[in-house]
Amino acid sequence: MPAIEHPFTDFPPSLLYPDTDFLINCLVRSQSYHGACVTFLEHVIACGVTTIALSTFTRLEFAHSVTQAKFRNLLEPAEQQRLDLAHWDRRSVRENYLREFLLAVDDLLGPLDVNEIALVPSIQAQAINYMAQYNLQGQDALHLATALSVGIRDIASFDQIFRRIDGLHLWNNRIFG
């Protein structure tokens, strides 16, 4: 049986694992699902029943994603100017940019109970198994393995590939159906 997809209006689960793409959509206005993600997180906070789990890998993947030129170029021009992205070659610009984005993640998740799950060898091994079993890319397999390692079956993600994972509850506002 494929994953069960949930609209953001459903009562949130007690444990939720947001992947990096979900976090980016929450934080960046120019992202396709920004408004829906912000509304969902407000709903989660208002319900007060959800603990967020993240892999210790998530912040690194997030930092990698937001520093890519393709991502930076999609930021609103005023934001690019404010962050001085025309001078990306300067270390101070990159440091300030990363600091600001990582603080934004902290601010976003601040009102929630957040548990970080260490990337241990058993999770890495299971991620490799999921790569073979479900034909996942490494980072998606790592997110899946991390969540499942602590019994979390609810993942907030817009990655269509998670739809084929049996028994998973995919919080994606049913964007695919």
Nearest CA to 66 out of 115, 123, 38, 26 is that of 26
pLDDT exceeds 80 at position 1: no
Which fold does the domain 4-171 belong to in CATH?
Rossmann fold (3.40.50)
- Residue given tokens 């601010």 in the structure block: 107
pLDDT tens for 120-161 read 999 999 999 999 999 999 999 999 999 999 999 999 999 999
DSSP-H helix ranges across 19-137: 20-27, 34-47, 58-67, 69-74, 77-82, 91-109, 121-134
The pLDDT value recorded for residue 150 is 96
pLDDT, average across residues 31-55 = 95
Residue position matching structure tokens 């260490």: 118
**What is the per-residue pLDDT for 30?**
87
pLDDT of residue 86: 98
* Residue 111 pLDDT > 80: yes
Distance set, CA 73 to CA 20, 61, 85, 104 (Å) = 19, 18, 9, 19
Of 23, 107, 111, 125, whose CA–CA distance to 64 is shortest?
23
Residues 6+ apart with CB under 8 A from 109: 52
Residue 177 confidence (pLDDT) above 80: no
Q: What is the pLDDT of residue 176?
A: 82
pLDDT digits (tens, 9 = 90+) for 49-104: 999 999 999 999 999 999 999 999 999 999 999 999 999 999 999 999 999 999 99
- CA dist., res. 101 & res. 115, Å (int): 19
